Amino acid sequence: MSDIMDINFNAVTGDLLKMISDYDGTEFKGAYNIRQDSECAGRKSSENVSIEPKTDNPGIVITVKPGTKGETVFIPACVTHSNVDDLVYNDFYIGEGADVVIVAGCGVHSDGEETARHNGIHRFFLAKDSKVLYKEKHVGTGTGTGLKKIDPVTDCYLEENSRLEMDTIQLGGVDRSTRNTSAVLGKNAKIIVRERIMTDNEEVAITNFKVKLDGEDSGADLVSRSVAKGNSHQEFYSLVEGNNRCTGHSACDAILAENGTVDAQPALNASHVDAALIHEAAIGKIAGEQLMKLRTLGLTEEEAEAKIIEGFLK
Amino acid sequence: MLELKNLTWRLPSGEKIVDDISYKATQKLIVITGPNGGGKTTLAKLIAGVEAPDSGRILLDGEDITDLDITQRAQKGVAYAFQQPVRFKGLTVRDLLILAAGEHMKETSLCELLGKVGLCAEEYIDREMSTALSGGEAKRIEIATVLARKAKLSVFDEPEAGIDLWSFSKLVETFEDIRNNTDGTLVVISHQERILSIADEIIVVANGKIRTAGPREEILPALLKGEYTCSCPRRNGGVCQ
C-alpha cells in the first residue's frame, strides 16, 4: 500500500501509474483522481480545480476555474486484475481563458483468464479562449490469457477561440481497443490530435474520429501514426465535416510488419464553399532505402528497423 | 586506402555498367567524374556495399571487404552519402547525426557539424528528416550524416546536386579541411569544376571503364578543354561558327 496522504492503491496500480501518468512514486503535483478497479483510490482538488463525484453515473466532474493557468490535473484509471468491467463517466468543464494540462492514462493488468476492461467516457466542455493539453497513454500488462480491453470515448465541445490538443499513445499490451473521439468546434476553435498506436500478436485497435467544423475559421489537424506487427489488425476511420469557412486535415500513416494489417478510411465532408479539407493515408512496410541508409551508418537491419519505428511513434 | 580489382557489375539484362575497373587510391581526395550514365553512381554503391559486384574484389587498407554487407562495411569505416537523400517520418536531424556519430553529441558539436554544410543547428536540429525539408536542405543533412561518421573512407555521390551557391562554397571548404586535417580518404563523384579543382586525383569514368586517371594537374586541363567540345559542337578555335 502507498503511504501517500489521500491515496490508497495497490502495487500493480503503482507500477501502472508510473507508465501512464508521469507518476514518480511519491506524489502528484496538482489535483488528481485515481481510479482503481472501479473504485476511487485517491482524490484531491486544488484551489482552481475541483474534482467531485457524479451523482447520476459512476465517475467525476472536473471543473477548472476561469483564468487558471499552468496547472496539471491527473485522472489515471487502472484495472489490476481480470474479471473487471469498469465503466466511468468523466466530465471536464474548462473555464474561460484557462490553460491547463490533463493527464488521463489508463492501465489494464491481467494475470487471469477473464477479461479486464476499462471504458472511460469523457466529455470536454471548453469555454471561450480556454486551452487544454490532454495526454492519454494506454498500456496493458500481465501474463493472463484474459483479454485486456480499453475502449475510450471522448466527446469534445469547443467554444469560440478555444484549443484542445490531444496526445494519445498506446504501445502494445492492449488486446482490444476501440477509441471513439468526436468534436464540435465553434468560431476560431482548434483541435489537434496526435495518435500513436503499436499493436502486436493478435491485438486489434480501432480508431474513429469525427470532427464537426461548425464555427467560422475553426480548424482540425488529426494525425495518426501506427505500426501493426505480428498478426495484429488496426482500423482507422476519420470524418471531418467542414460546415463553415474552416481548415481540416487528417492523416493516417501506418507501417506494416510481419502479418499486420491496417484498414484506413479517412473521409471529408464539405458543406461550405470556403471549407478547405485535406486527408492523407499511407500504409506500407518500412522502405528499403530507409533501412539501407541506417545500415550505412553502422546499424544492423534489426537495429535500423527498431530505430525507424521508435522515431515514427515518438 | 581503397583498392578495386577487376570490378564488374551488370544489369539483369546483362549490360555491363561497371566493366572490369581496377584502381588503387594513393591520394586523400579523389574525384570521379564523367558523362551521365557512365557507371559512377554504381561504382560508389559497389564501394559502399549497397550493390554487390558480379566479379572483382574491393580492398580497404589491404583487407578484402567485397563479401561484407552494408553494415559490416560501415563498421569497417566506409561512409556513403546518397545522391538522393532518404526521408524519415519521425527521425529528426539530431537523431540521424547521433546515430551517424555512434555516440552522444554535445550541442556545440552538432552546431559545428551542421555549420559545415551551411545549416543553422538552432533552426534544423529538431526538425524531422521528412519531405517537409526542401531538396537542398535534405541533401546538406545527408552530407552532414557522413561527415559525422569521421570515416576511414567517405564516398559522396554528387554532393553539389540541389544545394545553393553559398552552401556549396562551404562544402568545398569542408572537403579541403578533411583532406588537410584528417587521415580519411574522400571519394567524391562530381561534375563541378570547383570540386575538381581541389582534387588530389581525378578519375574519368565512361562506359563503365576508367577512361583516364591521374593527378589533377594532368587531368583537369584536358578535361576542361574537352568540355568545350562536349558543350558546344559548333565551337571551333574559340569562335562559334
Domains in chain B, CATH or no CATH each? 2-235 (3.40.50.300)
> With an 8 Å Cβ cutoff, are B102 and A300 in contact?
no
Name the closest residue on chain A to residue B99, using Cα atoms: A297
Instruction: Give the span between the Cα atoms of A17 and A21, in whole angstroms.
Output: 5
Report the SS3 class of residue A22: coil
The residue with cell 464555427 is A215
Query: What are the chain A neighbours of B74 within 8 Å (beta carbons)?
Result: 295-298
The pLDDT of residue A34 is 85
> What is this model's ipTM?
0.89
Of B78, B86, B95, the CB nearest to A289: B86
Q: Report the Cα A200 to chain-centroid distance in Å.
A: 18
> With an 8 Å Cβ cutoff, are A308 and B90 in contact?
yes
pLDDT, one tens digit per residue, over A44-53 is 899 999 999 9
In angstroms, what separates the C-alpha of B48 from chain A's closest C-alpha?
8
pLDDT, one tens digit per residue, over B3-50 is 999 999 999 999 999 999 999 998 899 999 999 989 999 999 999 999
The pLDDT of residue A82 is 75
Query: What are the chain A neighbours of B138 within 8 Å (beta carbons)?
Result: none
Of A295, A297, A312, the CB nearest to B90: A312
In angstroms, what separates the C-alpha of A307 from chain B's closest C-alpha?
8
- Is residue A62 pLDDT above 80, yes or no? yes
In angstroms, what separates the C-alpha of A34 from chain B's closest C-alpha?
33
In angstroms, what separates the C-alpha of B75 from chain A's closest C-alpha?
5
- Supply the pTM of this predicted model: 0.83
The pLDDT of residue A173 is 84
Query: What are the chain A neighbours of B94 within 8 Å (beta carbons)?
Result: none
Selected residue with higher pLDDT from A36 and A235: A235
The pLDDT of residue A157 is 98
Beta-carbon contacts of residue A226 (< 8 Å; ≥ 6 apart): A195, A196, A197, A198, A199, A205, A234, A236, A252, A253, A254, A255, A262
Q: A261: burial class by Cβ within 10 Å (0-12, 13-18, 19+)?
A: middle
- Is residue A227 pLDDT above 90, yes or no? yes
B interface residues, A as partner, C-beta within 8 Å: 48-50, 69-71, 74-75, 78-80, 82, 86, 88-92, 95-96, 99-100, 102, 145, 149
